[in-house]
Structure 1
């Protein structure tokens, strides 16, 4: 292991270009958004359905969207009305949305005669930071700093309402590939339906997705499921195939049976499906079209005019719902043929079923693609709303003209803006179609900037979906071998989301949109290498003689088995060179097997689509990097190191031993020397650490920011730590640690801190919080009340606190003049801690409010000091977590011969069961680094059994005059005598976590109660009590302290006195009669309305919730009577 001198970094020098590793964090998000606004929108407009309707005057109107333009974010100056660029910093501070104007050009015709185009701005849409539409996209690091952004800003998120929002990457089923599945729920879809089917998620060029499922029916037929507007439809697959092509039944039969001539069962089933059509008198291609259109015409009436024929309806279904990724009907037909062949192969157990739970059959939903799908859906909805607006105003004398059309459009000009902001701001999607998604909520998250690790992890996180979090099966959570190199095996939560929320590995990339020229050239390359093109004439092939070749879900040809390996090798060489075919091409060859059901359905499958997970490996023959996908990796031979290569078999090798770990896992020092759960803990605790989340504290209005005041750079760090420039955002402290059981306060993972170290600033942190005060009335203004002289001590003349002022609970925080009541109102500080005012900003919210020229909102940012205290949580980078149990005086702590006193006393019992050997190595390495003035590399897999890390660092310590094993003799701080045992002593980089007692302690004596149950309310912020539940009750009973239950759950809760009739036991029977009230107000008599007697009325103390329960039960005719004793007092 080579150690390097600590480099002296010049932090005042701004880098000339952005860090490539940090830039890759936002690349998938930014690239997908760029495609959406530049290329995707024109593609989406092609498939938008124009609206056609007839006015009462008989004129036929047709309206369509011809062009959509998204501009750059701008703002309008309230004084000069000058339009200028809007930057993200201003959007954050003003609490508005970083958005841009959206212009739409409408084309319309009247009775087939084209009318003048109508172009209008229909609102504003959110813009992704660092995309081509963002004002930051072309700025260099120095220019970014001038705009109050970080020099390493990578973008990829939106700003809605002043809050950063990120569209999360969801795992989706691989697009345009027939997947054979077995699902028990499919049996419930209809009579004779089986649990086996072939599913294909078809995605068009504009990223619109629809699902097709070819179901096997137990009578030997197959039915195709397709969807439209969240409705599910089924149709015989043979009917659809006959409607697609105008050919004979023999022609269809030969296409289907090509390569399966000896499969008698398959042949009989195909003949049976053809015969069923004849029984329904469907003989010709025209008959199939008429039958299909007539069957679904009513269901599609919302999209198609009433004048459309059955054939037009059939064409719409075939074009939009059946294999929509294939443009031509012939390609759709060939796709259904392949699906039918695969279905019967799986049914007969000739090939294996697939699994959608493995990365092999998965891809990602990117933010830009979801943005495009949602925008397309809203544009279609906008057309329907415009139609409704026109129809409402229609009458026999009504004529539609450009002015009337503009008026109808202006009534819904905020529709798209509100829906898009709702999608990104809340993650909730409302749409005409489900867009091929399994969830409509939780699509966006707030990228919490607790520290650098937490913020980075949001951009590499991939979620399986909310639907799977409620499943009891563990199949979706399992880490499969095929995930190697794509999904980090360490970086996943250890709670409920374990296995569902994963993170991409360090080298994993998301494939972008490929070069169209290279994709179009791919077919010619395949033909030149020996592939036979698919034609309208059925291809005559013998069983297991040729492979079907699928390119992005389209059958493009057939490949002879003899030349398949040679073609794959040549195609892979062209892929690496990237001159004739895309570098992101995924090549999957599934070969025929002699054993029945030994592999997946054979064929050559090529993928060029975006949103696939890919990673680089070394192509040994060319000695160059090659990008491989999750599907093709399973059928490749890749060695991790040269020693594992097999001559003539191994074709590729890993670029690095650490590429299978995520960014955060690559920051753990020596993770190969830890127990695996500890590495998982560190991935989570690293994201909870107080650190330096940003540099522009004074330009942010975050609700809560954690800041470590005295961070340090670790002595023992991985090489990737410097590549990510983590020292620019430090998040830990180098602590001197003594491993000794010195006091009783270090048991059960607790640790003792040196009190003097804390007073000198060890792990000192602060909490930055912002409070926003909005004035509802336009005429109201912030102003100090001149009649209250005491306010001048706390508030400036503008009614807001002085920057730098120290405030306590109950001190005035702001004052304003309320125009509605014509009085001054004062707001007081509610925080329990002392605070220091950092910033005070007065701002306006949106462009519309800017025109009012009135101050409507103030933001006060204050700092809460947080020195380490008893109960605060700390952790090392090896997953050794614990709380501070005592602040011990320095003079009472043990000290070394050289006079060093530890900052932390760590219990040695924390090592054996946790097996965190990396922390032991770090203590030795940190001690050696401080001694020699060097920093050491903690990258894993550098050492082995022959060359151990302990020996390496032990010799370095020995060279510096210390003990080889890292131990030292220490002296007691209380009596000064030398301890008999040698104490393990060194330096560890410790993290202070955000879990602090000051944020969690909860106590109350008296306080607010619930008005309904009269019990103490819950919630720390509301002054509620600590909840006393069933388990707490059981523990008191087991301790024999039953009376405490009465004290906690009755006397100090909802004790109340009620009147009960001891004769009948009724709690609701005793009433005061009207006649007695009128007769004598002073001495009323209470009588039981059930017994008609007043001599048995008694007072009794019960929980009020019992009285409430009896009243509720009586309302549904359930009577409850109580058995009373003589203890009850007579009234």
Structure 2
């Protein structure tokens, strides 16, 4: 990170292409790319090897076994045999422009056996699936900036997203429970699970090497026993934990008793509970390992009729269920037993109140669900589904053709009927939904988002956003939204939206890293290194001879390795941390969480917990003992002493120090000028408004195909900015305008955050912008084609011979855009420009396709000029938002002694309640920067109460001959007289937001109404009604015009005439009955009052009658009292 910002990044004309990409920007997409590369390198092989082979028997008696192996994902390429291509490689920009998917082919082998005899494997094409940009399967992965530009990409393209039907889609990062660590939790809903269940339990999220996961929960039962919850085929089962242990290993009751009681020999409560657990299993007539396997297998046989062959033994069924549902991250059954024993010990300690609940809402107990891991799980599930569908197809064929002999040709024929992977995975990325999934995901909807490229800040923020989950948005409690102390340095406390997603949609801090899969060789060394440093390995003779009362458990990625004595654990941790910093014998991403053993109750369960897995949040700090940078995790940080500055360090106690004072802020929060001088909400507002600013979203305007882009045509580089601005190269994507601001109450048009803008400045291009749109036009059939109608003599003015509009054409309402020949209807069809805004065609492209059966399409890119108009929204970088209320003539605005006229007049009443001192400093600093010719540093925490930023800027102004306080004498633009007050005057970097009157104005007299309520529909696009809310109502009341409410809310809404009975007051009773007395033969009557009824006509809102009908359905009657007619 540069120490101070600089203007040396600016250049006139076109700049030089850098030799290397910006290192910091590449970290934005790195977690996404790492997770996808894991799938490409080893994850897909691990997932395929874990697939359950399908075994079944044909009617003729042949036993068939099917499995998949050797799957590979190929780079995007043109199908072989395509005519007229110069290169077989497909690049992302081609997919963006043609609204197609950037995808690569999945190939593999189908292995099959008949009666145990292996047949020749069949090579299978599983279809094409989307490829993540900049991953190892993408053509852009190893390109230099120069090569990227030659392929129509940005020089600092960081990837991490997919292109699906031309749109950039990102799998959002979700916070989820930390993997492979048993967490003590209390949940009141657990009491209702079964009889005697308590609210206490131990949660374990178990994750295999291929990133497939399963949840286990060890529930405390009030009779002193414990039951383990497992999930199989989306069903939950609660099983005595000792029964699980007996199924896993052939061990005696004495062994189980000794293992659970180790370190708790004197605890009578422990002893009673363990004996109850053992007795409970014997009561079910289960005494040995064989009994447990038979009992378990016989109970689960009926639930696995389709997963396993009918001839499977109880042993095979038990092994299958335990491998898929119990501590699945461990392959060895004894490791599973050791972990279950540790969980029982923690549960009983928790039940006695000797350790506290940890919960899953703290960042220390969370990790990140990455896009590549979700993608791999979905791919694995769909491959397993392909095998199941193939079995169904073969069985159907077997029933229709008795005595079927399965051959390679028949097998291939049936496999062709199995749907490919492309549709399901592309649909997932396009919608974010995974329907009817057996995956252990926190949510099955909203998993992907569109990467909105409104401006550079918006684009960057998507890649660092982490969401808690859509489930928590519906919860009434605020626990999941709270920012707890353990989130320091990992989650930005400023960058979260207001409203519904507040506290749920967060952003990673600037230096936070997401770990990748470590080197397996280094992980394999850790147990040996721990033993050499003083750990007592589990079940070793030394460990068995040692009293474990004063020992803490040692766990590595959810596997119990041994114990270490309290006298040795401190030295072990210190030595292990030194090895971690070096990164030679153990991974440098190793997380060392030492929870000390304390005599007081209510502390966290003690132990040494080590983590090496991926998807954990870590951040760099300085290790004071080694004077080197160390990565620390969310769990271990809680038990470290980290200072911010050297002055705060306590000798012998402080272990680490922050690298930077701003390391706890996110990328966007680091771009706020001096946020330490603002009120906290204003910084939050700027993080949101910065993402809504018109700027320079891309450099490829001529070839982009986004639906809508906003472009600021006259951006300027801020003169007052933090050093992080240069680190992210934001000068390459200008987002605001330096404006001369006078803080003065002038004309009254600047009330309530409105601001007056110099009309001459707007005419010179201040905040001038445009909107760039792209429309795709697809022909109805494949044999239709674009062509100009030769009989229409007006078309040559607008359309070329190919039927498409000329580039540069001025577009007004009903200007022809394109013309095509419809081969079905045998006539020409003209498509017209329908927008009411004037536009200019920027580019026209006809899109090719890989298949002649696909209809041709073209995309037309056009620009709509959007210069500022009254009502458009502006904001400073201090969260001071306002609208343009008047374009004031320059000659009527006040001017300074030097003749300078302000661009913007800002009302001074906007300062006191908002307390945006940083904007005051910016006015002075921007002015000083302009007169001295250098950029001012706005990095926070650089100044102190003794050495203030205001004093520094004031002295700079004095040196330039200006007033120390930044004020100037001004003269009235009306009569030229000097104003009595000194006016605060300077330079502010203003942002023009994308909220414009042109997109929001709405007029309606009559129009469509809702079929049920009879009220005007909402929505400008649908011709809906004008919004009239509480604030508008309050405005009419405060002006003493309350009777106008009747016009707005009644006459212009759902006014209706209805019949009501005067006697019983019901709206639902009146009806037309037959009568001989009446001339028409019909008379109004009331169902409830019969002939006594007296029916009148009233004008009421129709929604009231709808309410009456709804209330009657719940047996509640509403009556109206009518006065006599006058």
Range class of TM-score, shorter chain? over 0.9
Structure 2 residue 554 is matched with structure 1 residue 549: yes
Q: In structure 2, how many angstroms separate the alpha carbons of the residues matched to 1:400 and 1:40?
A: 32
With over 3 angstroms needed to count, the CA separation of the structure-2 counterparts of 1:987 and 1:250, relative to structure 1, is same
Retained in 1: the 8 A contact 2:1072–2:1084? yes
Structure 1 segment 1027-1066 matched on structure 2, within 5 A = 1027-1028=1027-1028, 1041=1041, 1043-1054=1043-1054
Structure 2 residue 410 is matched with structure 1 residue 404: yes
Structure 2 residue 919 is matched with structure 1 residue 919: yes
Which one is further off, 829-838 or 989-998?
829-838
Which one is further off, 1064-1073 or 184-193?
1064-1073
Residue 205 of structure 1 is matched in structure 2 by: 209
**TM superposition shift of 1:2:** 8.9
With over 3 angstroms needed to count, the CA separation of the structure-2 counterparts of 1:1118 and 1:528, relative to structure 1, is closer
Residue 7 of structure 2 is matched in structure 1 by: 6
Retained in 1: the 8 A contact 2:957–2:966? yes
With over 3 angstroms needed to count, the CA separation of the structure-2 counterparts of 1:521 and 1:865, relative to structure 1, is same
Retained in 1: the 8 A contact 2:35–2:373? yes
Structure 1 segment 422-461 matched on structure 2, within 5 A = 422-433=427-438, 435-461=439-465
Q: In structure 2, how many angstroms separate the alpha carbons of the residues matched to 1:5 and 1:243?
A: 68
Which one is further off, 607-616 or 640-649?
640-649
Retained in 2: the 8 A contact 1:122–1:410? no
* Aligned partner (choices 801, 811, 814) of residue 815 of structure 2: 811
Cα displacement string for residues 1022-1046 of structure 1 (whole angstroms, at most 9, x for unaligned residues): 2121144677668767876565344
**TM superposition shift of 1:142:** 0.5
Residue 45 of structure 1 is matched in structure 2 by: 48
Structure 2 residue 350 is matched with structure 1 residue 346: yes
Structure 2 residue 34 is matched with structure 1 residue 31: yes
With over 3 angstroms needed to count, the CA separation of the structure-2 counterparts of 1:179 and 1:1070, relative to structure 1, is closer
* Aligned partner (choices 153, 170, 181) of residue 157 of structure 2: 153
Retained in 2: the 8 A contact 1:378–1:431? no
Cα displacement string for residues 394-445 of structure 1 (whole angstroms, at most 9, x for unaligned residues): 043211111111111111242x211111111111013542x22221001111
Retained in 2: the 8 A contact 1:32–1:368? yes
Residue 174 of structure 2 is matched in structure 1 by: 170
**TM superposition shift of 1:275:** 1.6
Structure 1 segment 1071-1086 matched on structure 2, within 5 A = 1086=1082
Structure 1 segment 961-972 matched on structure 2, within 5 A = 961-972=961-972
With over 3 angstroms needed to count, the CA separation of the structure-2 counterparts of 1:612 and 1:1012, relative to structure 1, is closer
**Gaps (5+ residues) in structure 1?**
1078-1082
Residue 758 of structure 1 is matched in structure 2 by: 762
Residue 906 of structure 2 is matched in structure 1 by: 906
With over 3 angstroms needed to count, the CA separation of the structure-2 counterparts of 1:1106 and 1:432, relative to structure 1, is closer
Cα displacement string for residues 482-518 of structure 1 (whole angstroms, at most 9, x for unaligned residues): 1111111111112211111111111100011000110
Residue 194 of structure 2 is matched in structure 1 by: 190
**TM superposition shift of 1:79:** 3.0
**TM superposition shift of 1:561:** 1.5
**TM superposition shift of 1:1072:** 9.7
Residue 834 of structure 1 is matched in structure 2 by: 838
Retained in 1: the 8 A contact 2:1069–2:1086? no
Cα displacement string for residues 826-884 of structure 1 (whole angstroms, at most 9, x for unaligned residues): 3333322212222222224x53xx324x7522222221111111111111111111111
With over 3 angstroms needed to count, the CA separation of the structure-2 counterparts of 1:1122 and 1:796, relative to structure 1, is farther
Retained in 2: the 8 A contact 1:22–1:724? yes
Q: In structure 2, how many angstroms separate the alpha carbons of the residues matched to 1:366 and 1:957?
A: 50
Structure 1 segment 381-396 matched on structure 2, within 5 A = 381-394=385-398, 395-396=401-402
Which one is further off, 57-66 or 908-917?
908-917
**TM superposition shift of 1:294:** 1.5
Helix, strand or coil at the partner of 2:68: strand
Q: TM-score, normalised by structure 1?
A: 0.94
With over 3 angstroms needed to count, the CA separation of the structure-2 counterparts of 1:286 and 1:82, relative to structure 1, is farther
Residue 736 of structure 1 is matched in structure 2 by: 740
With over 3 angstroms needed to count, the CA separation of the structure-2 counterparts of 1:724 and 1:1095, relative to structure 1, is closer
Helix, strand or coil at the partner of 1:364: strand
Retained in 2: the 8 A contact 1:179–1:200? yes
Residue 1080 of structure 1 is matched in structure 2 by: none
Retained in 1: the 8 A contact 2:240–2:281? no
Retained in 1: the 8 A contact 2:9–2:731? no
Q: In structure 1, how many angstroms separate the alpha carbons of the residues matched to 2:302 and 2:404?
A: 29
With over 3 angstroms needed to count, the CA separation of the structure-2 counterparts of 1:688 and 1:103, relative to structure 1, is same
Retained in 2: the 8 A contact 1:259–1:541? no
Structure 2 residue 683 is matched with structure 1 residue 679: yes
Which one is further off, 237-246 or 508-517?
237-246
Structure 1 segment 1078-1117 matched on structure 2, within 5 A = 1086-1088=1082-1084
**TM superposition shift of 1:791:** 3.5
Q: In structure 2, how many angstroms separate the alpha carbons of the residues matched to 1:899 and 1:961?
A: 16
Retained in 2: the 8 A contact 1:871–1:996? yes
Retained in 1: the 8 A contact 2:1059–2:1070? no
Residue 852 of structure 2 is matched in structure 1 by: 851
Q: In structure 2, how many angstroms separate the alpha carbons of the residues matched to 1:796 and 1:1116?
A: 66
Number of equivalenced pairs = 1116
Retained in 2: the 8 A contact 1:843–1:855? no
Helix, strand or coil at the partner of 1:987: strand
With over 3 angstroms needed to count, the CA separation of the structure-2 counterparts of 1:338 and 1:93, relative to structure 1, is same
Helix, strand or coil at the partner of 2:935: strand
With over 3 angstroms needed to count, the CA separation of the structure-2 counterparts of 1:4 and 1:322, relative to structure 1, is closer
Structure 2 residue 674 is matched with structure 1 residue 670: yes
Residue 23 of structure 2 is matched in structure 1 by: 20
Cα displacement string for residues 80-111 of structure 1 (whole angstroms, at most 9, x for unaligned residues): 47871111101111111110111121100000
Q: In structure 2, how many angstroms separate the alpha carbons of the residues matched to 1:1100 and 1:213?
A: 63
Q: In structure 2, how many angstroms separate the alpha carbons of the residues matched to 1:1074 and 1:59?
A: 82
Residue 873 of structure 2 is matched in structure 1 by: 873
Q: In structure 1, how many angstroms separate the alpha carbons of the residues matched to 2:630 and 2:638?
A: 15
Cα displacement string for residues 330-366 of structure 1 (whole angstroms, at most 9, x for unaligned residues): 0000000100000011111111111211111010000
Q: In structure 2, how many angstroms separate the alpha carbons of the residues matched to 1:939 and 1:62?
A: 65
**TM superposition shift of 1:1097:** 9.4
Cα displacement string for residues 887-928 of structure 1 (whole angstroms, at most 9, x for unaligned residues): 111001011111110001111111122111111111111111
Structure 1 segment 627-1026 matched on structure 2, within 5 A = 627-844=631-848, 846-847=849-850, 850-852=851-853, 856-1010=856-1010, 1015-1026=1015-1026
Residue 242 of structure 2 is matched in structure 1 by: 238
Q: In structure 1, how many angstroms separate the alpha carbons of the residues matched to 2:288 and 2:1060?
A: 85
Retained in 2: the 8 A contact 1:258–1:539? no
Cα displacement string for residues 958-1012 of structure 1 (whole angstroms, at most 9, x for unaligned residues): 1111111111111111110111111111101111111111111111123334456
Cα displacement string for residues 432-463 of structure 1 (whole angstroms, at most 9, x for unaligned residues): 42x22221001111111110000000000000
Residue 54 of structure 1 is matched in structure 2 by: 57
With over 3 angstroms needed to count, the CA separation of the structure-2 counterparts of 1:675 and 1:379, relative to structure 1, is same
Which one is further off, 396-405 or 537-546?
537-546
Structure 2 residue 94 is matched with structure 1 residue 90: yes
* Aligned partner (choices 567, 570, 576) of residue 572 of structure 2: 567
**TM superposition shift of 1:1106:** 6.9
* Aligned partner (choices 221, 226, 229) of residue 225 of structure 1: 229
Residue 259 of structure 2 is matched in structure 1 by: 255
Retained in 2: the 8 A contact 1:215–1:223? yes
Q: In structure 2, how many angstroms separate the alpha carbons of the residues matched to 1:381 and 1:966?
A: 71
Structure 1 segment 587-606 matched on structure 2, within 5 A = 587-597=592-602, 599-606=603-610
**TM superposition shift of 1:1101:** 6.1
Retained in 2: the 8 A contact 1:809–1:830? yes
**TM superposition shift of 1:932:** 1.2
Q: In structure 1, how many angstroms separate the alpha carbons of the residues matched to 2:814 and 2:791?
A: 19
Helix, strand or coil at the partner of 1:980: strand
Q: TM-score, normalised by structure 2?
A: 0.95
